[in-house]
């Protein structure tokens, strides 16, 4: 399959949201970014979650549902 952008290629590898069916889901990254710039410049398929690790590793960028 040919993707029109790097973002489309990454999102195609992620699961679809079980709540709303959206295909733009983000993978959780636990920990804190080194700098504010790193946080702001993170790609759209990354969801910074902070230091509290949870079993939910996916976030829907449309409805904000999280699941594991």
Q: Is residue 14 part of a domain?
A: no
Q: Is residue 56 part of a domain?
A: yes
Task: Domain count for the chain, please give it.
Answer: 1
Q: Are residues 57 and 26 in contact, defined by beta-carbon separation less than 8 angstroms?
A: no
Q: Is residue 12 part of a domain?
A: no
Q: What is the pLDDT of residues 1-57, one digit of tens each?
A: 666 888 888 899 999 999 999 999 999 999 988 898 988 899 999 999 999 999 999
pTM over cut 0.75: yes
Q: Is residue 28 part of a domain?
A: yes
Kindly state the helix (H) or strand (E) to which residue 47 belongs, with its residue range: strand 46-50
Q: Is residue 5 part of a domain?
A: no
Sequence-separated (6 or more) residues with CB below 8 Å from residue 12: 1, 3, 23
Range of the domain at 61: 24-68
Q: Is residue 62 part of a domain?
A: yes
Q: Are residues 46 and 38 in contact, defined by beta-carbon separation less than 8 angstroms?
A: no
Radius of gyration of the chain (CA): 12
């Amino acid at each position: 399959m040919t993707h029109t952008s790097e973002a489309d290629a990454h999102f195609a590898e992620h699961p679809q949201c079980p709540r709303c069916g959206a295909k733009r889901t983000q993978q959780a990254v636990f920990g804190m970014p080194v700098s504010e710039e790193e946080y702001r410049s993170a790609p759209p398929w990354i969801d910074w979650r902070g230091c509290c690790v949870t079993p939910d590793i996916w976030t829907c960028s449309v409805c904000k549902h999280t699941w594991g």
